[in-house]
Structure 1
């Protein structure tokens, strides 16, 4: 069910629980600012989720409340993960849904990294 990205952060969401180690994940990267793991329902040969470690619902929330170090660290983590998984040369897609109209399902900022094959048009025509 899509969520309203303007709602307060809910620390019982699945990504908060993954961050606390309450739910297992197949982790591929972690540093002080970000955690990345394989999506449990991959939509491409490579489908990795990257989440900031801070309690942020959306890009809007993150850009307003996160420190400059958190923002830079998270963005750098996304790039590093793409490089480490060999996605730069063939290409990859980043997707971050924000709010109900986009279909955001988990109220914790997250970026999907898709790659490993041609991904087609960005939006259905």
Structure 2
């Protein structure tokens, strides 16, 4: 549960198995599952199980080891589900498209067009 005592986020509820998801990888602190509205042939959400950090900036400042674990899980997912090449996308802040303030990364791979999501 979030540290503030607020209602659990959707991602915490997925990690707790309260909401079904197609989970593809998991560690003690991270869960990865297929996105329900994929933007690429492989589109997996990788997130900490707890909603302590709102975005990647807070995570990097607060727990760099957890950020490194998240990236390692993303790498492993891309190796398992694609050819190992992938994009790792974070959307910190409402203006960047973040709607749930619980940090997560999107692993995108397979069939990505040249220049799509360039950056």
Range into which the TM-score falls when normalised by the shorter chain: 0.7 to 0.9
- Residue 87 of structure 1 corresponds to which residue in structure 2? 83
SS in 2 for 1:47: strand
Alignment partners' CA distance in 2, 1:110 and 1:12: 15
- Residue 62 of structure 2 corresponds to which residue in structure 1? 65
Distance apart, 1:78 and its partner CA: 1.2
SS in 2 for 1:61: helix
Distance apart, 1:12 and its partner CA: 2.6
User: Is it true that 1:47 corresponds to 2:43 in the alignment?
Assistant: yes
Distance apart, 1:98 and its partner CA: 0.3
Contact kept? 1:29, 1:36, Cα under 8 Å? yes
1:105 to 99, 103, 108: 99
Contact kept? 1:37, 1:50, Cα under 8 Å? yes
TM-score by length of 2: 0.82
Q: How many residues align?
A: 114
SS in 2 for 1:118: coil
Unaligned runs of 5+ in 1: 1-7
Alignment partners' CA distance in 1, 2:6 and 2:94: 16
Contact kept? 1:11, 1:17, Cα under 8 Å? no
Measured on the aligned residues, the alpha-carbon RMSD in Å equals 2.1
- Residue 121 of structure 1 corresponds to which residue in structure 2? 115
Distance apart, 1:23 and its partner CA: 0.5
CA displacement 1:35-65 (0-9 Å, x = unmatched): 0000111111111110012322101111122
